[in-house]
């Protein structure tokens, strides 16, 4: 289980344009890494749009914002284009980064146990260490809450 102060687990994932992103690409500046359940669901759409709306405020602090789900690149592209999402979306189809960050959970849905993502956000400092972990977040207003944490870095 990841804790505050731990070195953030590395990842290598494609984005909606199939360009590979690595944690190392963001070294030297803060990074907000938010894990969400699925593209184009109401809560996930709210969260991604709010992060996109505040992207300029994050970048003004030298901070990048990246979303991760288990959807594929094509679905990410369609989601991004449909809703005007500007933050980078990474496809973790095999769940490798989700496992490394400890966001995989088992939930009962209609009487069947299913693997899913616990909506979680990690604020990683310029040195690559986890500074904040927010789990089970409520999407509405979450981006503003995270921006406040970034301002305090």
Nearest to 117 by CA among 53, 84, 71: 71
**Active-site annotation holder among 44, 63, 73, 98:** 44
The whole-angstrom separation of Cα 34 and Cα 90 is 10
Max CA separation in the chain (angstroms): 46
- Are 87 and 52 in contact by the 8 Å Cβ rule? The answer is yes
Q: Taking the mean position of all CA atoms in its chain, how far away is CA 125?
A: 15
Is 44 an annotated catalytic residue? yes
- Which residues are catalytically annotated? 44
């Amino acid at each position: 289980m990841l804790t505050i102060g731990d070195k953030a687990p590395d990842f290598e994932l494609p984005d909606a344009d199939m360009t590979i992103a690595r944690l190392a690409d963001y070294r030297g500046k803060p990074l907000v890494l938010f894990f969400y359940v699925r593209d184009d669901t109401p809560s996930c759409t709210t969260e991604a749009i709010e992060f996109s709306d505040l992207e300029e405020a994050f970048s003004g602090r030298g901070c990048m914002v990246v979303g991760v789900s288990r959807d594929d690149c094509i679905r990410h592209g369609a989601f991004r284009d449909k809703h005007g999402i500007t933050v980078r979306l990474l496809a973790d189809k095999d769940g490798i980064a989700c496992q490394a960050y400890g966001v995989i959970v088992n939930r009962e849905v209609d009487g069947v146990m299913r693997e899913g993502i616990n909506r979680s956000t990690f604020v990683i400092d310029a040195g690559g260490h986890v500074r904040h972990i927010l789990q089970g977040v409520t999407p509405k207003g979450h981006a503003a809450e995270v921006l406040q944490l970034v301002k305090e870095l």
